[in-house]
Amino acid sequence: MRIVCLLLLLLGIGISGVQAQVVFPQSHFGVWQGTLYASTSGAKQPQKIPMKLTIDSLPGRPNRYAFYIKYGDQPARNYELVIIDPVKGICQIDEKDGVVLSATQMGNRIVSQFSVGESLITTTYTFNSRKVEFDLVFTSTRTTRTGPASQPVLVHAASTYQHADLSRAE
């Protein structure tokens, strides 16, 4: 019986015959592709750009995963997803050019926020069983102030929103 249980576990099959759960990021290894819709303030129609995301292992590099993003005809961005603390959801996106972005895994999402120049950028990757959703919002780091003096609210004007539903490539 022990040998049968061990074989079933190695094959990813539980004792009840139910497939063992594969955890992220291994659950999403492969190529995901779709269309990125980029909307900017003032534009009537979003720009449509082919998008591809590849997630894979990096042999000999524990807790580091290939995280390649390709937009249209642009060269691929060969990033790495680094899992720092899976229990706390702490990870990073290493752009491999000196830029390392902090990111947080919240359930089935990875969220990152950073600024470049006068843009504050929020990215969200949502990993579902049949698709990966990508959302990106550009806002201005310049703010306007509103609300009472005792509790002012700083408002960041959004300028760009991007969204893609990526399906597993066949």
Split at pLDDT 50, 70, 90, the class of 7 is: very low
Counting the structural domains of the chain, the total is 1
- Residue 14 in any domain: the answer is no
State which residues form the domain around 134. 22-168
**Is 4 domain-assigned?**
no
16 belongs to a structural domain? no
Is residue 147 in a domain?
yes
pLDDT per position as a tens digit, 91-116: 999 999 999 999 999 999 999 999 99
User: What DSSP string describes the chain?
Assistant: -HHHHHHHHHTTB-TTSPBPPPPTTGGG-EEEEEEEEEEETT-SS-EEEEEEEEEEE-TT-TTEEEEEEEETTSPPEEEEEEEEETTTTEEEEE-SSS-EEEEEEETTEEEEEEEETTEEEEEEEEE-SSEEEEEEEEEEEEEEEES-TTS-EEEEEEEEEEEEEEEE--
pLDDT at 11: 35
Which region among 11-15, 76-80, 127-131, 133-137 has the lowest average model confidence (pLDDT)?
11-15
Q: Give the pLDDT of residue 24.
A: 85
What confidence score (pLDDT) does residue 21 get?
63
- For 53-65, what is the mean pLDDT? 95
Mean pLDDT over each residue of the chain, to the nearest integer: 88
Residue 137, domain CATH: 2.40.128.20
